[in-house]
Amino acid sequence: MRPSERCILVIGALACAIASTLLIARAAEIPLNERKSGYEFMGRDSRAMQDDDTANPGTFSVLDGEALWKRKVGTAGKSCADCHGEASESMKGVAARYPAFKVARGRPVNLDQQINICRAERQQATPLALEGKDLLALNAYVARQSRGMPINVTIDERTRPFFEQGRATFYRRQGQLNFACAQCHDDNWTEKLAGSPITQAHPTGYPLYRLEWQSVGSLQRRLRNCISGMRVDNYPLGANELIDLELFLMWRARGMPIETPAVRP
């Protein structure tokens, strides 16, 4: 056997081994007491950055959000504070409950959408751009008020169909690589991908400061990162599929504390 043939055989055998590992459909949900936030997968320095508000660049977004909270906008000339008062009181625990069912929409909406609904209906202002600096800042400020509180989305007869859609998206193989989210995040979170830990994908700290982005970003930005990595025809920002997936992921992380603004590599 020539060396090149041997090489091909070895690679073939390795590929089979990897494929068979992936093909074993364990699809077991992570037991509640074995769940870990992305924080626990991080190194010491990244943790230190998150732990100290004066070292956490996400703090800038929270401070910007605080300023926006008090600013009067729209033809109604109202600020968020005019209706909601002190965010530390009125917004406590709110982010932990989103996505939440919105009767007028007939489906769950996430916090970004709720902020824009408020702007349209109460402030008569134009909607803020999804993934724009201002919307991220307001979201970060609101979510910051829930830091340390357990995630607690409502799954009832109204939200269940959307929750089931989200769950189906998480377990469905999709895209050119024929991958499901669950294959990494349920079955292989003890492993690494390209040297980085595969985490359990619990959305505990959004909007968060990602070092790779060098900015704050939303859960949907992160989901779209993963989905394009799976080579799936991606869902646009604000798509119903992403909201449903958010709802499922928040349920999956139920009871885990909110960390906003988190830091992630």
With CB under 8 A as the contact rule, the residue among 49, 230, 242, 247 that binds another protein is: 49
With CB under 8 A as the contact rule, the residue among 9, 13, 16, 211 that binds another protein is: 211
Q: Where are the beta strands (DSSP E) in 37-89?
A: none
Beta-carbon contacts of 261 under 8 Å, excluding residues fewer than 6 positions away, are 56, 58, 59, 61, 62, 140, 143, 144, 205, 207, 208, 209, 216
The answer to whether 226 is a known catalytic residue is: yes
The answer to whether 256 and 35 have CB atoms below 8 angstroms apart is yes
Residue type, 190: T
Number of residues located near another protein, criterion CB under 8 A? 14
Q: Per CB under 8 A, which of residues 56..115 are in contact with another protein?
A: 56-57, 59-60, 63-64
Residue type, 252: R
Residue 143: which of 90, 95, 204 has the closest Cα?
95
Minimum CB distance to another protein smaller for 247 or for 263: 263
Kindly provide the b/e burial profile for residues 144-168, where b requires at least 16 CB atoms within 10 angstroms of the residue's own CB: bbbbeeebebbbeebbeebbebbbe
Minimum CB distance to another protein smaller for 29 or for 45: 45
Q: Which one of 1-9, 51-59, 72-80, 109-117 is the stretch in contact with another protein (CB under 8 A)?
A: 51-59
Minimum CB distance to another protein smaller for 137 or for 230: 137
Minimum CB distance to another protein smaller for 174 or for 215: 215
The least CB distance from residue 262 to another protein, in Å, is 15
55 contributes a contact to another protein by CB under 8 A: yes
Contacts with another protein by CB under 8 A lie at 49, 52-57, 59-60, 63-64, 211, 214-215
Catalytic positions are 226
